[in-house]
Amino acid sequence: MPPFDPLYTAIVIVCLIGGVLGLCAFLTLAERKISAWIQDRVGPNRVGPGGLLQPMADGGKFFLKEEVIPDHVDKIFYLLAPAVAVGTALLTLAVVPFGSTVPAPEPASSLAAYEQSQAEYQSHFSFVVNPGLDIGVLYLFAIGSLAVYGVVLAGWSANNKYSLLGSLRASAQIISYEIPLGMSVLGVFLICGSLNPEKIVAWQTDNGPYWLILFQPLALLLFMTSSYAEANRLPFDLPEAEQELVGGYHTEYSALKLGLMLLSEYVHLIAGSFMLSVMFLGGWSLFGLETISDDPIVAAVIKLVILCGKMFALCIFAQLIRWTIPRFRFDQLMNIAWKVLLPLALLNLICVMVVKQLGAPLLVLTVTSAVLVVGAGLFSVWTAGSVTNPKRKVVKLPAGIPAGVTYAS
Amino acid sequence: MPIPETDVQWVETARLGFWEQLYIPSMLAGLKTTIGHIFSPQVKTEQYPEQEPKMPANYRGVHRLNRDHNDRVKCVACYMCATACPAHCIDIVAAPAPADWKDREKYPETFVIDELRCIYCGMCEEACPVDAIELTTLYDLTGLSREEMIFDKEKLLSVFDQTTKAGTDPVRTRAGRLGAASDTAPG
């Protein structure tokens, strides 16, 4: 364990949270601009050059609007919910590397060797709030599953049918997608031998650029799908489906409390994108570009830019997906989680275990991933979709009975 | 009334093939469309305050009272528009026409339209026998008070002056000096 330095940690926390909150603001602008471009519109262009200052106007609006607390809400939980939502979202950032990281050294055989490796480790600068945390990703999943409390509290305390329906959907959805989310990355942990994100990055960079997307493309797909569901993003935004639920669990929220609710979703998206780039896309490495400079500070900046660039690209990709796939029906949503993602993740995990046990080259896993996807497609064709999309039985009423009237059988 | 069985069509959903069941190719095709729209935008939205819309000639905006060839108000105070108005927003007070106005018996002493009450249906324009009242293409009518939105005769005549001068709404009547009703012989 590296020694704890409160000042250094405080600086990193301030920089990280400041950066993430600023990025959230500009992701809202990007979201609106990208939506506009895809729909052949112009998008916000009134505030500042090309609408660049729109996030400031939006943020200012959140501060200045009236804080409405309806009479019928449960005040304590109503006020607690946005705090829980944004608090758990920000807590996930504690283990997310956002720049160059160095894994903590392995236990050494002698004291002198240990101290030398520790001194070597201390001389590096780690861009993570809590470096050397060996349960890293496990912590992320634990805190991530707490996020559902914010949503459930918001829906329950609002005392409103739309909010309640939204939060019911959200709790079912988030709990269901937790499982494929965790299952899909188990293969990564088996390959890298660690839950520590810094070690996962080190595994990908040390043996040349072996990004795990090469060996675990299926896991990447499953993880990405589940993380969109966790962040309540389209096509999984049933908890706040505007068309059906008026905004779902944040129907009764206004002003800054609504802002916090929306903020927490963007923080989830950012944390998920960071984890995707760290676990599958090689973290701060980019085809040798990160070793271009010998100066440690320049190298650190390059790695920071590479990793944050990957994260930003993944956030933009999520926004493209938003306008590409229509929203799922709720039964389809559940079917995807339990009948598609979970079995595929389990089979993928078994493949990794077999390959590791037999000592086969890791490229076999690329083949097995492709085989699993094609096999799933063939299985769906063979069963004519009756597993994931069971046909509803058509009951023809006897003649003479008007349509729309149901009788107890 | 139950739907007869012969009118009911039972439709089966199309079966998905292997390519669709894989889901990923279809998704990539969708992404191609969305990304294509980003890089070749076909923006058709109007930049409103900078770019004024061109209204069709039959747009129903603010009313005007037409003037005749002597710049007098064309209206003959027959109350047809006020009667036709479904929103009851037109208020006319008729008076005997001045002695030198040989072509009519009455003229409107006051002619007031409550523009806030009006529903811009165009019934007054349809009802007018002398084509004196018309709806213009002025669409951006605003005011700071309710009183300001009650248009009297002078205001309505000034709308006529303004719109004919600007050329946005030329006088549309094709009838004679007093309009369609005056051309037909009485009886």
DSSP letter (8 states) at residue A265 = H
pLDDT for A122 equals 74
B163 pLDDT exceeds 70?
Answer: yes
The residues, any chain, with a CB within 8 Å of residue B186's CB and separated by 6 or more, are none
Please give the average per-residue pLDDT across A72-95, as a whole number.
88
Strands B90-96 and B133-135: unpaired
Class of residue A39 by CB neighbours under 10 A (exposed 0-12, middle 13-18, buried 19+): middle
Please give the average per-residue pLDDT across A111-117, as a whole number.
81
Q: Could you give the CA distance from residue A145 to residue A296 in angstroms, rounded to a whole number? A: 37
Question: How distant is the Cα of A234 from the closest Cα of chain B, in angstroms?
Answer: 14
Residue B87 sits in a domain whose CATH number is: 3.30.70.3270
CB A140 within 8 A of CB A147: no
Question: In this predicted complex, what is the ipTM?
Answer: 0.74
A242 C-beta neighbours (distance < 10 Å), count? 10
- CB of A175 within 8 Å of a chain B CB? The answer is no
Contact B34 A221 (CB under 8 A): no
pLDDT for B86 equals 94
Please give the average per-residue pLDDT across A272-286, as a whole number.
85
The SS3 call for residue A146 is helix
Contact A399 B5 (CB under 8 A): yes
The SS3 call for residue B64 is strand
Instruction: Please check whether residue B159 lies inside any domain of the structure.
Output: yes
Residue in A closest to B33 by C-alpha: A324
Please give the average per-residue pLDDT across A241-267, as a whole number.
81
- CB of B41 within 8 Å of a chain A CB? The answer is yes
Please give the average per-residue pLDDT across A327-333, as a whole number.
83
Q: In what order do the strands lie in the sheet with B106-114?
A: B90-96, B106-114, B150-151
Q: Could you give the CA distance from residue A142 to residue A85 in angstroms, rounded to a whole number? A: 14
Interface test with A, best of B34, B44, B47 (most A CBs within 10 A): B34
Q: What's the number of CA atoms in the CB half-sphere (13 Å) around residue B63?
A: 33
Q: Could you give the CA distance from residue B108 to residue A301 in angstroms, rounded to a whole number? A: 81
Strands B90-96 and B106-114: antiparallel
Write down the mean pLDDT value for chain A: 83
CB B18 within 8 A of CB A18: no
Instruction: Please check whether residue B161 lies inside any domain of the structure.
Output: yes
Question: How distant is the Cα of A43 from the closest Cα of chain B, in angstroms?
Answer: 10
pLDDT for B95 equals 92
B187 pLDDT exceeds 50?
Answer: no
**B32-81 pLDDT per residue, tens:** 989 988 888 788 888 888 888 888 888 898 999 988 878 888 888 999 99
pTM of the model: 0.78
CB A49 within 8 A of CB A288: no
CB A14 within 8 A of CB B16: no
Q: Could you give the CA distance from residue B138 to residue B60 in angstroms, rounded to a whole number? A: 8
**Which two structure tokens, joined as six digits, stand for B96?**
């005997």
CB A233 within 8 A of CB A265: yes
The residue range of the domain holding B133 is 63-181
Nearest CA to A178 among A253, A288, A272, A293?
A272
DSSP B99-135: TT-TT-SEEEEEEEEETTT-----HHHHH-TTS-EEE
**Which two structure tokens, joined as six digits, stand for B11?**
């439709």
**Among A210-219, A396-405, B61-70, where is mean pLDDT lowest?**
A396-405
Q: Could you give the CA distance from residue A283 to residue A205 in angstroms, rounded to a whole number? A: 8
Count of structural domains within chain B: 1
- CB of A112 within 8 Å of a chain B CB? The answer is no
Name every chain A residue with its beta carbon within 8 A of the beta carbon of B41: 37, 40
